Structure 1
Amino acid sequence: MSIQKSVFGVIDSQQVEAFEIESGTVHATIITYAAALSRLFVPDGKGGQVDIALGYDDLASYVQNRGSAGAICGRYANRIADAHFTLDGKIYSLSANEAPNHIHGGLGGFSKRVWTGEPDTANRAVRLTLNRPDGDEGYPGAVTATVTYTLTDDPALEIVMEATTDRPTVVNMAYHGYWNLAGHGSGHVRDQHLLIDADHYTPIGPGKIPTGELASVAGTAFDFRSPRPIGATIDDTTQLPEAGYDHNFCLNHNGQPLRRAARAVDPVSCRGLEIWTDQPGVQFYTANHFGKAPAIGKGGVTYEKHAGFALETQNFPNAPNIPHFPSAVLRPGETYRHVMRIPFFVAEA
């Protein structure tokens, strides 16, 4: 098997590369801007194959459009309240790129950078590396981050994110892809079925900052413990003011190295995926931003509200400021490691 490399574009005199990897019926394209997964073709039960990842045909669209489609977000993915946190008694002020809060690593976070990519043909993988200095976006410590995308025989996509630091810091990397199991350009995902293995979620207040409560999903619009359509209660604006989800779910622990976060199926094509992780949470987001700012995606398709769904395995939002949330601290000599495994399947009709 070979891994094809090509030039995807140029930004600020930096060349952005694209890597194509294939394993049986699944093939993927990864670009070095944002270490983003830009294409992922998977089969259905009828011999067909479709791209289920929202994305763009050109670099300018990745740079200009909101939403971090397919990107690796960091140094701290999701939100940090009031753009600051305290570590070892010192307050660190971050860029307030969602004023007054900080989101997805700031104005120049990992998802806004060009990574260095290296193919690993023997393992059907691509490894990308990013070095960021001490003080980057206000964070302490120089950090080296890596992400490895691997296609396995199952078939499955495995994403492993790692980071090291030379000073105590906080790290929470996340893969921010949008899925549409009927095909990236097929319209909304409201009728696709979703299960999330979570008995609790973290309610949010102003700015979508968690209140600190771990609330039961029972009897709420957040109860996906049994499969149901994504759109079943999405228009209940008393619980979902945006008529969409953008919430962290606290995953149930199965006592194993990886826990299942979610299972999704398109009832028409019968394409499905599961997401397994070693992280404590998953952010379920229904691409609400396309409602206000539709984007032209691959092949000239228009992405509108609910064009895809994201399931971002992660630490909890604002964990550096909420002591009873899982710790996000990374110290010298330690390695941050985040495993996300996504097997694909064809469900019975």
Structure 2
Amino acid sequence: MHLHARLLALGASLLPMASAETSGSKGPGPDKDGLYWIKSEGLMAGFITYGASLSHMLVKDQYGIPRDVVAGFDNATYYEVDKQHNHFGGVPGRYANRIRNSTFELDGDITFSIVDPDGKEGFPGEVVSYITYTVSDWTWDFKMVALATTKKTPIMLSSHVYWNLDGFANNETNTVLNHTFHLPYSGQRVGVDNILIPTGDILANQKGSVNDFWSAPKQIGASFSDPELKDNCGFNCTGYDNCWLVNRAQNGPYDWRNDGYVARLHSAWSGIQLDVYSDQEAFQLYSCNGQNGSVALKTTQGLKDNKDFPRTIPKYGCVVMEVEDWIDAINQPAWGRQDKQIIEPGGDPYVLQASYRFSINGTSSK
């Protein structure tokens, strides 16, 4: 079961409605559909204030055709209408992913500012977050800064975007099982029970196993015939909804911006490649096991005259890629990560930085 199917029980939801500023000052308002747009030579990105969500990301494929590679809705108002899928592209918080037993113990930009009040969903203290999105050339950068203003509280944010690098327009398949995925630093993952709650175990991803994306790139669907993949994403679930650790420090000091991607997603059909760089030390991949064809594609997606596939998102029709810290570390003191996730008034803020770099088959321009 994926994150947002269990949201309220597990301690995370979309951050609330935000206010927006463009290029550091009050900029143009949203378009007729409620989207704020920022553009560069290679990218067009549309955002909404609901959860500081990425709603549209248009990238030209290897044939020069613009592909909208993220799931969402045409109009911002629909995010509040469809309560089942209103998390598309948003910032989950105050603590993303899963918390065991729903409890814890404490001792050229667009910037969205969000205030999460004391007591919401049981979290102590007010938190003020600033989510800054930037596009430049073929790169989408974002930075998330969160401040605890009144009480000590857990904070762990992320970006919850649903990707399909074919723009849901592939005439050969309507899933992303053809996409190639690589996690070069992720030889371990967080162990979970059959409802995906962390157990406290750190598991090895053996070379050649279904969760091995580190030894070499492989298609997301490469292991779907392997019996080991059944229950991999929870009871009676075949697919991925797992948190891999990012162990770059094993090779010595590193510069997260320049010393290699933590994840790579590539579609040979569209030629679009996405390299993810981040200062975070975990990475969650979800293979859209819970999608069932109930979400319509946007007008910017799909093939209008394709009678082979309906204009909806099917099971395995997308992937979520989240940069974050180790999930449920606030309940696992032996991991030694609580200082990264428990933030106090007057102390250091919570900071997450990431760079999503697009290219065409590894080349950043045509």
Instruction: Pick the TM interval, shorter chain.
Output: 0.7 to 0.9
**1:234 CA drift (Å):** 3.0
The 2-side partners of 1:234 and 1:35 are apart by 34
- Secondary structure of 1:149's counterpart equals strand
**1:317 CA drift (Å):** 1.8
- The question of whether the paired residues in 2 share the 8 Å contact of 1:189 and 1:308 is answered with yes
Q: 1:196 aligns with which of 183, 192, 213?
A: 183
**Change in 2 beyond 3 A, CA 1:132/1:8:** farther
Task: Tell me the equivalent position of 2:294.
Answer: 294
The 2-side partners of 1:37 and 1:21 are apart by 11
- Secondary structure of 1:46's counterpart equals coil
Matched, 1:158 2:141: yes
- The question of whether the paired residues in 2 share the 8 Å contact of 1:185 and 1:303 is answered with no
- Secondary structure of 1:202's counterpart equals strand
The Cα RMSD (Å) is 2.2
**Change in 2 beyond 3 A, CA 1:20/1:319:** same
**Change in 2 beyond 3 A, CA 1:41/1:168:** same
Matched, 1:222 2:211: yes
Q: Where does 1:141-152 land on structure 2 (aligned, <5 Å)?
A: 141-152=125-136
Task: Tell me the equivalent position of 2:262.
Answer: 261
Q: Where does 1:309-348 land on structure 2 (aligned, <5 Å)?
A: 309-325=319-335, 326-327=337-338, 328-333=341-346, 334-347=348-361
The 1-side partners of 2:50 and 2:89 are apart by 10
Deviations 1:232-291 (A, max 9, x none): 113445433211100000012153242632011101221101111111101100111113
TM-score of the superposition, structure 1-length normalised?
A: 0.82
Q: Number of paired residues?
A: 305
Q: Which amino acid aligns with 2:29?
A: K
Task: Tell me the equivalent position of 2:305.
Answer: none
Matched, 1:6 2:30: yes
The 1-side partners of 2:93 and 2:325 are apart by 12
TM-score of the superposition, structure 2-length normalised?
A: 0.78
- The question of whether the paired residues in 1 share the 8 Å contact of 2:190 and 2:243 is answered with yes
**Change in 2 beyond 3 A, CA 1:348/1:76:** closer
| Structure 2: runs of 5 or more not aligned | 1-21, 232-236, 302-310
The 1-side partners of 2:126 and 2:357 are apart by 34
- Secondary structure of 2:354's counterpart equals strand
Q: 1:66 aligns with which of 63, 82, 85?
A: 85
Task: Tell me the equivalent position of 1:86.
Answer: 105
Q: 1:27 aligns with which of 44, 49, 52?
A: 44
**1:67 CA drift (Å):** 6.8
The 2-side partners of 1:235 and 1:60 are apart by 40
Matched, 1:178 2:162: yes
**Change in 2 beyond 3 A, CA 1:4/1:25:** farther
| Structure 1: runs of 5 or more not aligned | 10-16, 89-123
Deviations 1:119-161 (A, max 9, x none): xxxxx210001112211111111100111110023x2000111
- The question of whether the paired residues in 1 share the 8 Å contact of 2:127 and 2:146 is answered with yes
The 1-side partners of 2:32 and 2:329 are apart by 36
Q: Which amino acid aligns with 1:256?
A: Y
Task: Tell me the equivalent position of 1:240.
Answer: 230
